[in-house]
């Protein structure tokens, strides 16, 4: 064994059982030995060094094993099997599974996660394998069997006289998705929740920024989006009649609620569509859930309201000038919305422009 010097170094690399210890390990051993020798426990210092060397030996062999091709192959195979086996079972039993009877179609960043999580607390309301399945918008070419396999077995749902619920905010801004949904689920009950479009746009921007999809200032993003939509998306009815109407996906266009609802009401009759205000949901989640339960013909239950799902915190606040600019931009769209649904929403009665705090709960809206 090499001699440990007084300053804690080694005259040559320390080896124990054929394993060369790293520089950090040598320093740790030397420091422990020096401390114990100062207290007169030389034997304890030797034991400590031996135990430390044995620990290093086991860690070395463990790391070597984890890099072995056989171990990596087995690890990958188990991970694939763990992912595939549930899907194989679901696909094999897809015909015995229940398609959704109710769908939350949006709006994105408006509280869909909060609403969905609160509704599936009901013992007769069943969710899919995840909240956002996005079948009609992003996976329209996939077989219907895959979509049906995402939901519970029909026998379990029928046993409690329940229903299945899906929540995919990507449906509302896409007229083609709404048409496809109508073809597959003509009797589904549709739920829409709308948020102040200015606050929603800023929340959308922060969501993209936190995921490194956006690096420009919010004012530049708004200016670019308004310029793009100035001639193609006018604040007037008729946009949904175009067979090739492109989805309204950017942070500004998703706030054109009247145009999106026009497309939805072309696909589904008004009595199958429930429109909610996000401000009402967060003011009294239980009351809004009771309204939805009545709409879905489910027995009322008390819904806990202490948790806010998918909350987001921002390190910046919206510039008041940009907020006022957006407010004026959305004003004709808000007027169309009032005309279409026959009611006003809370944000329409605000006397002052929206100014968001530095830590704002975007997860009251969804993201995902």
**DSSP secondary structure of 98-149:** PPPSEEEEE-TTSSHHHHHHHHTTSTTEEE-SSS---HHHH-TTS-HHHHHH
CA separation for the pair 154, 193 (Å, rounded): 28
- Give Cα separations from 13 to 46, 53, 61, 109 (angstroms): 17, 13, 19, 59
* Residue 355 pLDDT: 41
Query: How confident is the chain (368 residues) per 10-residue block, as mean pLDDT?
Result: 46 45 58 59 58 72 73 65 71 93 95 95 95 94 94 95 96 94 97 96 92 91 92 84 82 95 95 96 94 96 85 84 94 95 90 41 38
Number of folded domains in the chain?
Answer: 2
Is 79 inside a domain boundary? no
Contacts 24+ apart (CB under 8 A), 293-301: 293/119, 293/122, 295/189, 295/191, 296/101, 296/102, 296/125, 296/163, 296/189, 298/122, 298/124, 298/125, 298/162, 298/163, 299/124, 301/121, 301/122, 301/123
* Residue 49 pLDDT: 62
* Residue 82 pLDDT: 62
Is 7 inside a domain boundary? no
Burial class (CB in 10 A: 0-12, 13-18, 19+), 57: middle
* Residue 232 pLDDT: 82
List the structure tokens of 57.
């030996």
Assign 276 to helix, strand or coil.
Answer: strand
CA neighbor of 136 nearest in space, from 98, 99, 162, 164 = 99
Is 159 inside a domain boundary? yes
Is 162 inside a domain boundary? yes
Residues 6+ apart with CB under 8 A from 270: none
269 touches 277 (CB < 8 A): no
Verify that 52 and 107 share a domain, yes or no: no
Query: Which of residues 48, 66, 84 is at a domain's end?
Result: 66
Q: Work out whether the CA dihedral 292, 297, 300, 304 comes out positive or negative.
A: negative
pTM: 0.74
Burial class (CB in 10 A: 0-12, 13-18, 19+), 348: middle
Verify that 165 and 32 share a domain, yes or no: no
H or E element in which residue 19 lies: strand 19-20
Could you report how far apart the first and last alpha carbons of the chain are, in Å?
Answer: 58
Verify that 103 and 146 share a domain, yes or no: yes
Verify that 111 and 23 share a domain, yes or no: no
What residues make up the domain containing 50? 15-66
361 touches 312 (CB < 8 A): yes
Query: Which of residues 44, 66, 88 is at a domain's end?
Result: 66
Is 73 inside a domain boundary? no
Report the CATH number that the domain containing residue 113 is assigned in CATH.
3.40.50.300
CA separation for the pair 110, 118 (Å, rounded): 14
CA separation for the pair 273, 162 (Å, rounded): 19
The Cβ-side half-sphere exposure at 241, using a 13 Å CA radius, reads 3
């Amino acid at each position: 064994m090499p001699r440990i010097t007084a300053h804690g170094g080694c005259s040559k690399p320390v080896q124990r059982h054929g394993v060369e210890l790293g520089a950090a390990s040598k320093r740790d051993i030397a420091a422990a030995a020096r401390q114990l020798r100062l207290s007169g426990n030389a034997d304890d210092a030797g034991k400590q060094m031996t135990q430390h060397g044995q620990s290093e030996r086991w860690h070395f062999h463990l790391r070597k094993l984890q890099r072995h091709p056989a171990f990596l192959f087995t690890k990958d195979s188990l991970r694939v099997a763990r992912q595939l086996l549930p899907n194989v079972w679901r696909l094999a039993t897809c015909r015995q599974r229940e398609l959704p009877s109710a769908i939350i179609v949006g709006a994105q960043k408006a509280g869909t996660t909060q609403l969905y999580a609160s509704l599936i607390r009901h013992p007769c309301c069943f969710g899919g394998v995840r909240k956002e399945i996005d079948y009609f918008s992003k996976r329209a070419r996939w077989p219907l069997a895959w979509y049906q396999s995402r939901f519970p077995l029909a026998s379990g749902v029928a046993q409690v006289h329940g229903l299945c619920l899906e929540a995919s905010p990507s449906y509302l801004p896409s007229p083609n998705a709404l048409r496809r949904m109508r073809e597959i689920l003509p009797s589904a009950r549709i739920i829409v929740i709308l948020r102040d479009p200015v606050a929603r746009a800023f929340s959308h921007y922060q969501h993209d920024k936190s995921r490194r999809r956006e690096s420009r200032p919010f004012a530049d993003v708004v200016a670019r989006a308004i310029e793009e939509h100035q001639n193609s998306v006018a604040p007037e009815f008729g946009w949904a009649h175009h067979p090739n109407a492109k989805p309204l996906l950017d942070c500004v266009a998703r706030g054109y609620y009247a145009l999106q609802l026009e497309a939805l009401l072309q696909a589904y009759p008004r009595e199958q569509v429930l429109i909610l205000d996000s401000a009402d949901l967060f003011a009294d989640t239980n009351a809004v859930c009771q309204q939805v339960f009545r709409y879905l013909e489910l027995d009322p239950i008390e819904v806990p309201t202490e948790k806010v799902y998918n909350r987001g915190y921002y390190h910046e606040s919206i510039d008041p000038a940009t907020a006022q600019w957006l407010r004026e931009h959305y004003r004709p769209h808000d007027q169309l919305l009032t005309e279409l649904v026959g009611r006003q929403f809370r944000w329409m009665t605000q006397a002052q422009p929206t100014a968001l705090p530095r830590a704002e709960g975007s997860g009251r809206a969804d993201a995902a």
